[in-house]
Amino acid sequence: MSKPFDFDIGRLTGEANYSGRPPADFAQTPERGTFFLETFGCQMNDHDSEKVAGVLLARGYRQVETPEAAGLILYNTCSIREKAAQKVFSRLGEYRAKQSQGKIIGVLGCVAQQEGEDIFERAPWVSLVCGSASYRKLPELIAQLESGNHRVTGLDTDTEETFETEITRRDNPFRAYLTIIEGCDKACSYCVVPYTRGPERSRASDSILREVRQLAELGYSEIQLLGQTVNSYKDPTPRKMRFAELLLAVAGVPGVRRVRFTTSHPSDFTKDIVEAIEAQPKICEHVHLPVQSGSTRVLRAMQRTYTLEEYLEKIAMIRGVSRPIAISTDIIVGFPGEKEADFEETLCLLDEVKYESLFSFKYSPRPNTPSLKMDDAIPEEEKSRRLAILQDRQREIQKARNARLVGDTFEVLVSGKSRRENQWSGYTSSNRLANFTSQEQELLGTYVQVRVTGATPNSLVGEHVV
C-alpha cells in the first residue's frame, strides 16, 4: 500500500522532567548523549520505539537523524519472517566499524529476544540486547551501559507487567498508538511472536483511560489501541471491563474523534464488538481480521483455532450491521502441506469476502516454531507463484470496490501534505488512503469532507468539499 506524504512533526507526552541529568561519561565520542533509533516490524514495534525514545529523552539524551551523528545506535527489530531478521544482521554489519569509533550499538525487539546472547557471538560489536518483555528494565540497562558495562541484556519473558513510561515521544501529532495488551497466548504453529513477546498481559482499564484523557487534552484526536490479539484484552482490575466496553469508554473521552484497534483474532471477535462499532460512530468502520488461509485443513495445521465456516460467521456478523465496516486480512501462502485445492479455497474466500485490503506473505519457516519440522515444504517458486496469483486476484477486487466509491463523500483526517501545491492526504474512517486537492492553507490534523473523483486499487483520489 502506498504511504501518505510524510511529515516529521514529533510530539512528547507525559510528565517527564526535561532537565534530566545528561548522561555523564557515556561513550567517549563527540556525539555523547545522542541516540539514533531505527525501527523494523509492526505497529507495536513502532509504538515501543516511541516509548524507548521517551525513556532516553527523560534521561537527557537527544534524538538524532543518522547513526553517524549518534553516540548510541539502537535497532528495534522484527523476526516475523526470515527476510526481516536477515535485514537486521545486514544493518548491524553496516555499523560494525562504528563501535571502534566509540559508539554503542544495541539490539531491541523480537530478534533480540529470539537470538538472545547469540547476538554477541554473531555481532560482537553489539553491547545491548533487550527484548520487548524486558523494556521496563531499560532505564536500569542504560544506566549500566553509561557506567561502562559492555554486555548488557534484558531477556526475561515471564514478566507480569506491561511496558509503561513516564514519557513517550509520539511520532504522529494527531494519532496516538496505545498498547493495551502485550505478548500473545495463542500458539499459531508458524509464529515467533509468543516466543519473542512473551505471554499475554493486559493493561489496567483505568490506566488506559487516564492516558487517553491526557492524549485528548494534548490534541490527539485519533486513538489506536494495539495488541497482537487486541480483542483478547482482559482487564486485570476488579472492574473487568470487556474489550467492547473499553472501545466505547475510549470513544467517550472528550476530544477523541476516532478510535481504531488492531489486530483482532477471529476466535475472540465477539458480537458486542460489532455492536459497539454500530452504536458509536467514533469507533472507526474498519476491522483487521487475519484469516491466514481459506482451507480448514490448513487452518488446523496452523493451529488457528477456528474453521473456515466459523470465520465466515464472523464476517457475516460484521457485514450484517448498518455501518459499512471495511474488512482487511492477512494471508500466508505455501504453508507446509498446502495443496493446490487448499490454495483454491483461499482464492474462493477472497471472492466471497471481497476484502478492502490484504497483506499477503510467503510462508517463512521460523526458529522454535512447531511448523518448522512439518513435512511437505512448498518450493520457493511455487510460493511465489501462489502469492502472485493471490495478489492479482485481490488487486482486481480492490479496483472494482474502490471504483464503486467514485461520487461518494468521506470524512478524512488530514495527515499529509504533498510538495505539489494544493495536494493533501489522509485516511477515511474505513482506513482508505485518500489523496485530494484543496485550496485551504492549513489542513494538517483537521477533519475534512472529501468527494471521491477517482480511484486506484490502493487509494482514492478526491477533492475537498467545503
- Footprint on this chain of ligand SAH (rule: CB under 6 A): 80-81, 190-191, 193, 228-229, 263, 265, 290, 292, 330, 332, 361, 363-364, 366
Strand ranges inside 241-320, DSSP E? 258-262, 286-288
Q: Which of residues 245-284 bind ligand SF4 (CB under 6 A)?
A: 265
Amino acid at 261: F
Residue 271: CB minimum distance to ligand F3S, A: 28
Q: Which stretch binds ligand F3S (CB under 6 A): 9-17, 75-83, 170-178, 314-322?
A: 75-83
Polymer length of the chain: 466
Tell which one of 58, 73, 78, 289 touches ligand F3S (CB under 6 A). 78
Q: Which is nearer to ligand SAH, 65 or 375 (CB)?
A: 375
Q: Which three cell numbers stand for residue 105?
A: 550499538
With CB under 6 A as the contact rule, which of the stretches 72-80, 262-270, 385-393, 441-449 interacts with ligand F3S? 72-80
CB under 8 Å, gap of 24 or more: what pairs does 139-146 form? 139/55, 139/59, 142/55, 142/56, 142/59, 145/26, 145/72, 145/104, 145/106, 146/23, 146/24, 146/25, 146/26
**End-to-end alpha-carbon separation of the chain, Å?**
28
Find which of ligand SF4, ligand F3S, ligand SAH, none residue 44 binds, CB within 5 to 8 Å per kind. Answer: ligand F3S
The reply to whether 183 sits near ligand SF4 by the rule CB under 6 A is no
Residue nearest to ligand F3S (CB): 41
Binding segment for ligand SF4 (CB under 6 A), chosen from 42-50, 185-193, 210-218, 391-399, is 185-193
The set of residues, in sequence order, having a beta carbon less than 8 Å from that of 339 and lying 6+ positions away, is none
CA gap 190, 303 in Å, rounded: 9
Q: 36 and 70 in contact (C-beta within 8 Å)? A: yes
16 binds ligand SF4 (CB under 6 A): no
d(C-alpha 380, C-alpha 188), whole Å: 21
Burial of 402 (0-12, 13-18, 19+ CB in 10 A): buried
Residue 43 CB, nearest distance to ligand F3S (Å)?
8
The smaller minimum CB distance to ligand SAH, of residues 42 and 246, is found at 42
Query: How many residues at the interface with ligand SF4, by CB under 6 A?
Result: 9
Instruction: Give the per-residue contact string, 171-210, with ligand F3S (x = CB under 6 A; - = no).
Output: ---------------------xx--xx-------------
User: Which x/- pattern, by CB under 6 A, does the window 21-60 give for ligand F3S?
Assistant: --------------------xx-xx---------------
Of 9 and 187, nearer to ligand SF4 (C-beta) is 187
Closer to ligand SAH at the Cβ: 190 or 410? 190
Q: Which three cell numbers stand for residue 14?
A: 507525559
Question: Could you give phi then psi for residue 320, rounded to 5 degrees?
Answer: -85, 5
Which of these ranges, 1-9, 111-119, 130-138, 184-192, lies near ligand SF4 under the rule CB under 6 A?
Answer: 184-192
Q: Is 212 in the site for ligand F3S (CB under 6 A)?
A: no
Q: Contact 287/326 with Cβ under 8 angstroms?
A: yes
Q: How far apart are CA 290 and CA 295, in angstroms?
A: 13
Alpha-carbon Rg of the chain, whole angstroms? 23
Q: Which of 34, 127, 168, 229 binds ligand SF4 (CB under 6 A)?
A: 229
Q: Is 110 in the site for ligand F3S (CB under 6 A)?
A: yes
CA atoms of 451 and 424, how far apart (whole Å): 13
Determine the interface stretch with ligand SF4 among 44-52, 186-194, 308-316, 346-354 (rule: CB under 6 A). Answer: 186-194
Q: Which residues are 310's β-sheet partners? A: none
Q: How many CA atoms within 13 Å lie on the side-chain side of 68?
A: 0
In the numeric block, the cell 466509491 is attached to 405
Cell numbers found for residue 103: 559508539
Tell me the C-alpha distance between 333 and 362, whole Å: 5
> Of the listed pieces 190-198, 276-284, 310-318, 413-421, which binds ligand SF4 according to CB under 6 A?
190-198
State yes or no: residue 194 binds ligand SF4 (CB under 6 A).
yes
Which x/- pattern over 298-327 shows residues binding ligand F3S (rule: CB under 6 A)?
A: ------------------------------
Shortest spacing between CB 343 and ligand SAH, in angstroms: 15
Kindly tell me which of 45 and 153 has the beta carbon lying closer to ligand F3S. 45
CA dist 454 and 448 (Å) reads: 17
d(CA 169, CA 82): 30
Which parts of this chain interact with ligand F3S (CB under 6 A)?
A: 41-42, 44-45, 78-80, 109-110, 192-193, 196-197
Which parts of this chain interact with ligand SF4 (CB under 6 A)?
A: 184, 186, 188, 191, 193-194, 228-229, 265
